[in-house]
């Protein structure tokens, strides 16, 4: 069952009461590949850096939709937390978990943003069968994806994960 009103606001797909089990996050191919590389090197905890107060706020899982030209859900991970705060303090606390290779690269990335979000996650899983965009549309009953990402309920997240394995 699709909650179109909530989806159009970038919120939820599926049961609105349990709709925040997982979050489908948009990620560029270069960042996805860096997280994969770090995972293969043995890193356990990762942080995805975003400017401002970025979602997800409440979720248990993150599903990674790698944007076009890839255009597929390529993996998932367990959400530890989303921390929002000052750019300097969060870099000092969690910068080593990010895919940004230096403080200079981080400063260039966040530019003049005073507040940033570090989306911290663990147990990264790469899909053995990534889900193409058209299959996501059919499974979710939607015609386009929100650029901010969106929440899905547990049943929908379980279906997506099962499809990737």
The predicted pLDDT at position 134 comes to 87
Task: Report helix, strand or coil for 138.
Answer: helix
Stated length of the chain: 165
Mean pLDDT of the chain: 87
Q: How confident is the model at residue 58 (pLDDT cuts 50, 70, 90)?
A: confident
Instruction: Report pTM.
Output: 0.84
Average pLDDT over residues 6-14: 40
The predicted pLDDT at position 17 comes to 37
Chain segment 22-48, per-residue pLDDT in tens: 999 999 999 999 999 999 999 999 999
- Looking at mean pLDDT, say which of 17-21, 125-129, 161-165 comes out highest: 125-129
The predicted pLDDT at position 138 comes to 84
Alpha-carbon gap, residue 113 to 27, rounded angstroms: 19
The predicted pLDDT at position 7 comes to 34
Chain segment 69-111, per-residue pLDDT in tens: 999 999 999 999 999 999 999 999 999 999 998 999 999 999 9
CATH tag for 4-164 (out of 3.40.50.300, 1.10.3720.10, 1.10.10.10, 2.30.130.30): 2.30.130.30
Whether 4 has a pLDDT exceeding 70, the answer reads: no
Alpha-carbon gap, residue 141 to 121, rounded angstroms: 28
Cβ 121 vs Cβ 46: under 8 Å = yes
Alpha-carbon gap, residue 147 to 107, rounded angstroms: 23
């Amino acid at each position: 069952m699709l909650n179109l009103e909530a989806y159009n606001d970038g919120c939820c797909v599926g049961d609105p009461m349990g709709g925040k089990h997982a979050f489908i996050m948009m990620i560029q191919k270069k960042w996805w590949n860096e997280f994969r590389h770090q995972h293969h090197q043995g890193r356990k905890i990762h942080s995805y850096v975003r400017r401002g107060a970025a979602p997800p706020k409440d979720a248990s899982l993150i599903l990674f939709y790698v944007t076009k030209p890839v255009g597929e859900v390529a993996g998932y991970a367990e959400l530890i937390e989303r921390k929002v705060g000052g750019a300097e303090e969060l870099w000092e606390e969690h910068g080593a978990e990010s895919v940004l290779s230096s403080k200079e690269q981080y400063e260039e990335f966040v530019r003049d943003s005073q507040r940033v979000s570090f989306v911290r996650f663990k147990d990264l899983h790469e899909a053995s069968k990534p889900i193409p965009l058209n299959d996501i549309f059919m499974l979710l009953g939607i015609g386009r994806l929100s650029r901010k990402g969106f929440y899905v309920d547990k049943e929908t997240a379980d279906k997506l994960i099962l499809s990737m394995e």
